[in-house]
A and B are shown apart, each in its own frame.
Chain A
Amino acid sequence: MKLIYKAPETFTKKPTTYCPGCTHGVAHRIIAELLEEMDLVKKAVIIWPVGCAVFGYDFIDTDAAVAAHGRACAMATGVKRAHPESFVITYQGDGDLASIGMAETVHAAARGELITTIFINNGNFGMTGGQMAPTTLIGQVTTTSPYGRKPEVNGFPIHVAEMLATLDGPAYIARASLDSPQHINQAKNFIRKAFKAQLLGLGYSLVELVSTCPTNWKMTPVEALERVRREVLPVFPIGEFRVVKGVE
């Protein structure tokens, strides 16, 4: 028998604490695969968020820290500037990166910090029970937008990848989706480029991963994937929004 796929060692000795069908596990696995393929496991420092992924350090086996809510990009800046030989990743959700942490995210990107951010966009604050987030869609019902998100009351969702791509500091900004095996493979390729941007010292890198939250979306995992295709990707399209020379 020829081995086609084998789950990486670096990905989780413990069963994950994520809900059934939550795509956090998929994101973790492709990151772990890349760290092994690119021989970065020993150098990696991952800064985990406040959110469902707060326990991520138990699922990807590298040096790690848990940052204050929203502050991962600032904490990562501290680690990378103090110890540039480390390979520094932040892993953040919508609330962490785009709500409370927006300033730290934008400025780390603007400064071109040599860190890589993995941004999990699932349209709500998952851990705390499904409140509205900066990426919640117009009309989407959440626990703090029970009548559906209305622009006149709650404003509009933020397109983080497109927004950060307007800055000069980033070397690679992309959005991928975890809704199908094909898109997951594409996501892994995008993250590989993001890692390359850090390794080559070209600038800040971020990959936004459109993800599901079956529990708070109140659907089955399979229905959640379908919702991503039907409702989310039209608003948050897949793409590479900033690619500087050397990253391709």
Chain B
Amino acid sequence: MGERLLMKGAEALAEAAIRAGAQIFFGYPITPQNETPEYFSRRMPELGRKYVQAESEVASINMVYGAASTGTRVITSSSSPGISLMQEGFSYIGNSNVPCVVVNVMRGGPGLGNIAPAQGDYFQATKGGGHGDYHSIVLAPHTVQEQCDLMYDAFELAEKYRIMVVVLSDGLLGQMMEPVEFKDWVDVSKLKTPDWAIVGKGDRPRNLITSFELDPEGLEKMNLALQEKYKKIAENETRYELYMMDDAEYALTGFGTVARIMKTTVKMLREKGIKAGLIRPITVWPFPYKVYEDFADKVKFFLDVEMNEGQMLEDVKLGVNGKKPVIFYGRFGGVVPTAEEIYKQFRLHLGGC
């Protein structure tokens, strides 16, 4: 803890990753996170750590896979179209049980889309954009400060569970400048090469990192082991924030940037005497279904707002399980809804209540 620095999100997340112990960064330019590889390229050599500019996001994620296989703290960063290119790698990493951190600074889509903020990659991140039954832990910060704090958790969770952790950011969190205070530097001298890593076998039997198992029953065993791991993660690492939910009669819900905007909407509603609150998942995988299940008994309806067609909406509905109405409001193309706009949407539905 110490000084407060005014930093752009894309750079702050890099500094946070470095202080959290990132030893090596692989990446490729893409807006709105170009500042991230640029920052790493400048900072890593200063600390005797490593930066490699890959020829594509396909190459980036495979370099990450290689470095992760040595048990080294490794990170890459990209934005939606680049993250699409990485999906094959995500699946391989998923079935190989190696730790790494991937940052997705989401932008407008689909396709080339644009460079404005969006939330259209929720499905891709949480339901698996890559093939097969794998999951990554997905953290969804809503401020530049939280993005920095979660970077430390990302590396720890990745190593604890030998899993990929995705930090689901967006163009707003990437480009805005906010004061941040970094947590203490991780003592990298304490980081040890894990006994499963491929670094040269020395005197032990050789290690193998693979996601391949020709025998169906063998592959089923691998999958069941993954499912066990995911169950443990869901039991122990689900996180969310409750904002003014103690006495709430109405629940607004969202993740990331939109959740932050909705905190203002909640305050606006409270000023009018409406007892609204916000449920904000911090881990969107594992998703806090139980929170919605519990609040479905207490609130009159849920208003889910996202910068997409309604992706987290499906998980909210699963949690609420039909007990109460779940209303959705979304914007596309990089349009960021305002607090007033959401307030108006809320009042619209309140009218019918």
Contacts and interface: CB of A to CB of B under 8 A. Distances in A.
Contacts of A68: 62, 65, 88-89, 92
A148 B58 CA distance: 33
Interface in B60-111: 60, 62-70, 72, 74, 88-89, 92, 96
Interface residues of A, number: 34
Interface in A80-103: 80-83, 85-87, 103
Given A43-B200, A78-B68, A64 B206 contact: yes
B114 interface: no
B56 interface: yes
Interface string A12-49: 00000000000000000000000000000111110100
Contacts of B206: 57, 61-64
Given A67-B62, A103-B56, A78 B198 contact: no
Interface in B1-49: 23-24, 26
Contact of B65 (A42, A44, A75, A85): A75
B209 A65 contact: yes
A184 interface: no
Nearest to A78: B66
B54 interface: yes
B52 interface: yes
B338 interface: no
Contacts of B217: none
A62 B50 contact: no
A64 B208 contact: yes
A87 B202 CA distance: 12
A83 B72 contact: yes
Nearest to A43: B200
B69 A65 contact: yes
A37 to B, nearest CB: 17
A87 B54 contact: no
A229 interface: no
Contact of B62 (A62, A74, A80): A74
Nearest to B65: A75
Interface string B183-224: 000000000000000111111001111111000000000000
Interface in A52-79: 54, 57, 61-68, 71, 74-79
Nearest to B53: A111
A104 interface: yes
A74 B74 CA distance: 14
Contacts of A79: 66-67, 69-70, 198-199
A74 B88 CA distance: 14
Contact residue range for chain B?
Answer: 35 or more
Contacts of A83: 70, 72, 199-200
B193 to A, nearest CB: 8
B52 A81 contact: yes
Contacts of B207: 63-64
Q: Which of A44, A45, A66, A104 has the most CB of B within 10 A?
A: A45
B59 A74 contact: yes
B88 A42 contact: no
A82 B54 contact: no
B44 to A, nearest CB: 11
B297 interface: no
A104 B211 contact: no
B200 A78 contact: no
Contacts of B89: 68, 71
B40 to A, nearest CB: 13
B309 interface: no
B55 interface: yes
Contact of B52 (A47, A66, A77): A77
A115 to B, nearest CB: 10
A75 B58 CA distance: 11
Nearest to B88: A68
B222 to A, nearest CB: 13
A107 interface: yes
A42 B206 CA distance: 9
Contacts of A103: 55-56, 58-59
Nearest to A110: B55
Given A63-B208, A68-B89, A74-B63, 12 more contacts: A43-B202, A62-B201, A65-B96, A65-B208, A67-B65, A77-B59, A78-B64, A78-B65, A78-B68, A82-B67, A104-B59, A104-B62
The 10 lowest CB-CB distance pairs between A and B, nearest first, are A78-B66, A74-B62, A75-B66, A82-B67, A78-B63, A43-B200, A71-B62, A78-B67, A82-B72, A63-B198
17 contacts: A42-B201, A45-B200, A57-B208, A61-B201, A64-B208, A65-B209, A67-B65, A68-B88, A74-B62, A76-B66, A78-B65, A78-B70, A79-B69, A80-B66, A81-B50, A104-B59, A104-B62
